[in-house]
Amino acid sequence: MRPGLPVCFALIFAIPAFGQDPQVELDTSLRAVEPKVIAWRRDLHEHPELSNREFRTAAKVAEHLRSLGMDEVRTGIAHTGVVATLKGGRPGPVIGLRADMDGLPVREQTGLPFASQARGEYNGEDVYVMHACGHDAHVAMLMGAAEVLALHRDRLAGTVQFVFQPAEEGPPAGEEGGAALMIKEGLFDGPDAPEAMFGLHVWPSEQGTISYRSGGYMAAADNLQISIRGRQTHGSSPWLGVDPIYVAAQVINAIQGIASRHVDITRGPAVITIGSIRGGVRGNIIPDDVEMLGTIRTFDVGEREKLHARLRTTVTNIAEANGAEATVTIEPYAPVTGNDPDLLRSMMPALYWAAGEDKVQEGRLITGAEDFAHYQKHVPGLFLMLGVNDPGVPAGAAPSNHSPMFNSNEAALIVGVRALVGFALEYAARTGGD
């Protein structure tokens, strides 16, 4: 189902050039850009780059935006970010459309003809790199939306900022990056600062669906580092030292009880995951140190604070009981990502136009996190999920984001382009663009 233009932005978009139907013109532009979006996505997928190192990606994006005759194209923001300004032919508000650009240190196993063989350096290690979270699709869709809106700029009311953001997955150790650095370097400064932000994320759910949730949608995330200091000795005589690996094992077991027994889960889910543990060099030497890296996910501010305090106490006491020392470092990554209820309500016609009313659905809470939430601390925002499973594959039956098997069905990408274009047109109509 592809309904006609929503009434509101049909009015703002309906000054026909040369007597042509604006619906026909817009659909023609969308059909024309679809193969380009797919080609861009495949190229980006084959050449992923890690956070704060998106040099090729940024150059490709900037070249395309300049070719569209944007009013301004700024590069080098937050290391490799690109922000382009498109002023419509009629007065109206300023909005931001955002896509993230970085890949992940994952070795691809999809078998696609354009699968990544790229390698990069991640915190001092040589790693394979893959667009395992779908950011290749995000960039391609926003490039497509920029082209469509530029073609119809004379009818566009207001200004659109196209925000291509680096390092959504988090900057390398010792560096700043992502949405927080985009803001720090002036995204919301000046007369063309966005008054609302919009973003989409590809997701392993039914192809072409757009999922939303009013209020909190994605979890707050904190980066967790636990360092345990023991005393090295021979593996045959553990009583002569302090075994930090044994302590680490107790810590991993104990902290799972925090989320399951000490957090009020009626206020929202909570997750503590240890994803990396390092210590020792061989089997018969008990090492001095073990380091664990993990992530914390929560939805309620008060429960988040209680969890942090309980975690510090639990880890410290276990280490002390075994004669070891422990240091717990918790670094906030992003607050809860959600959807402004009023903004969501006003944008529903654009979503229906983009996907079809039967394909727009309320989603469940997602314990994944997004640094898009930093924008939402400054202005209202929408962040929605675009289903990219193969036809007939239901939600939960396809590889998840961050899997080496994750893939986006390209037939769904034009729905994302339509949604981004719809956001720009509908917002102007709803907020008084004339």
| Residue 238 in tokens | 């553990």
Using N-to-C axis directions, what is the helix angle for 301-321 and 244-261, rounded to 10°?
Answer: 150
* Shared domain check, 247 and 98: no
Per-residue burial over 310-344, b = 16 or more CB atoms within 10 Å of its CB, e = otherwise:
bbbebbeebbeebebbbebebeebbbbbbbbeebb
Residue 1 lies in a domain: no
Report which DSSP code applies to 170.
-
Same domain, 114 and 157: yes
Same domain (yes/no): 376, 305: no
User: Looking at the structure, do residues 93 and 112 belong to the same domain, yes or no?
Assistant: yes
What pLDDT band is residue 116 in, cutting at 50, 70 and 90? Answer: very high
Q: Do 17 and 47 sit in the same domain of this protein?
A: yes
Residue 36 dihedral angles phi and psi, to the nearest 5°: -65, -45
Residues 6+ apart with CB under 8 A from 302: 267
User: Do 173 and 298 share a domain, yes or no?
Assistant: no
pLDDT at 431: 75
Residue 14: per-residue pLDDT = 44
Closest CA to 226 of 261, 251, 254: 251
pLDDT band at 250 (very low <50, low <70, confident <90, very high): very high
State the CATH number of the domain containing residue 70: 3.40.630.10
Q: In terms of Cα–Cα distance, which of 37, 42, 332 is closest to 179?
A: 332
- The reply to whether 137 and 169 lie within a common domain is yes
One domain, residues 58 and 88: yes
What pTM, to 2 d.p., does this model score? 0.92
pLDDT digits (tens, 9 = 90+) for 279-295: 999 999 999 999 999 99
Q: Regarding predicted confidence, which is higher, 7 or 77?
A: 77
d(CA 329, CA 332): 10
Q: Is the pLDDT of residue 139 over 80?
A: yes
* 68 and 207, same domain (yes or no): yes
> What domain range is 146 assigned to?
7-218+336-430
DSSP 283: T
Alpha carbon of 330 to those of 65, 177, 218, 290: distances in Å? Answer: 39, 17, 19, 17
What CATH code is carried by the domain that includes residue 265?
A: 3.30.70.360
At 198-228, the pLDDT tens digits run 999 999 999 999 999 999 999 999 999 999 9
Decide: 244 and 326 in contact? Cβ < 8 Å: no
Q: Which residue has the tokens 């985009």?
A: 182
Domain count, the chain: 2
* Whether 392 and 424 share a structural domain: yes
| In a shared domain, residues 341 and 426 | yes
Residue after which a domain boundary falls, among 333, 349, 382: 333
Helix (H, G, I), strand (E, B) or coil at 326: strand
Does residue 176 fall inside a structural domain? Answer: yes
DSSP one-letter string for 79-127: TTEEEEEEE-SEEEEEEEEEEE---BS----S--TT----EEEETTEEE
Query: Which of 311, 333, 355 corresponds to the end of one domain?
Result: 333
Question: Residue 212 has what DSSP assignment?
Answer: E
Establish if 71 belongs to a structural domain. yes
Which of the listed residues 299, 333, 367 is the one where a domain comes to its end? 333
Indicate whether 2 belongs to any domain. no
One domain, residues 156 and 169: yes
pLDDT of res. 23: 84
Whether the pLDDT of residue 419 is over 70: the answer is yes
Q: What is the DSSP letter of 51?
A: T
Share of the chain above pLDDT 70, in %: 95
